[in-house]
């Protein structure tokens, strides 16, 4: 049920993203259109990465929770969106990209460690 809900929400965010991508001029667009573009981009990427994670886990016969897929999808969406924004401001380089990826990997490790300890303690 969660997978169907996530698929529907992702499709509702991909359609506006593609509409803004193909039917708006980024050089003449106002700040509102640019904000809507990046918001729709983040939501659609987070949904797509979450769905991909769920499908890969299902084919790999791994048991994982819905929240894990959603969290990892959001993290990957943030990485891609941050890199696009860094490139937009012309400050993206290997150091910035690797620092961003290491930050997200560290956050994921923190969540995994927290989940492991809470399972061990019975919370």
Question: What gap in Å lies between CA 79 and CA 96, rounded to an integer?
Answer: 11
Q: What is the DSSP letter of 24?
A: S
Is this model's pTM higher than 0.75 or not? yes
Question: What gap in Å lies between CA 9 and CA 105, rounded to an integer?
Answer: 26
Residues present in the chain in total:
123
pLDDT of the chain along its 123 residues, tens only? 677 888 888 888 899 888 888 888 877 888 888 898 899 999 999 999 998 988 888 887 777 777 888 899 999 999 999 999 999 899 999 999 999 999 999 999 998 888 778 777 766
Alpha-carbon Rg for the chain in angstroms: 17
Q: Where are the domains of the chain?
A: 2-121
Q: What is the pLDDT of residue 83?
A: 94
Question: What gap in Å lies between CA 39 and CA 84, rounded to an integer?
Answer: 12
Q: What is the pLDDT of residue 122?
A: 67
């Amino acid at each position: 049920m969660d997978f169907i809900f996530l698929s529907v929400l992702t499709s509702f965010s991909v359609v506006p993203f593609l509409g803004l991508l193909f039917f708006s001029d980024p050089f003449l667009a106002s700040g509102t259109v640019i904000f809507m573009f990046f918001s729709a981009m983040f939501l659609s990427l987070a949904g797509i990465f979450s769905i991909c994670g769920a499908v890969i886990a299902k084919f790999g016969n791994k048991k994982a929770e819905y929240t894990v897929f959603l969290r990892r999808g959001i993290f990957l969406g943030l990485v891609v969106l941050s890199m696009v924004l860094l490139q937009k401001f012309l400050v993206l380089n290997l150091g910035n990209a690797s620092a961003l990826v290491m930050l997200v990997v560290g956050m994921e490790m923190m969540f995994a460690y927290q989940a492991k300890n809470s399972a061990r303690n019975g919370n």
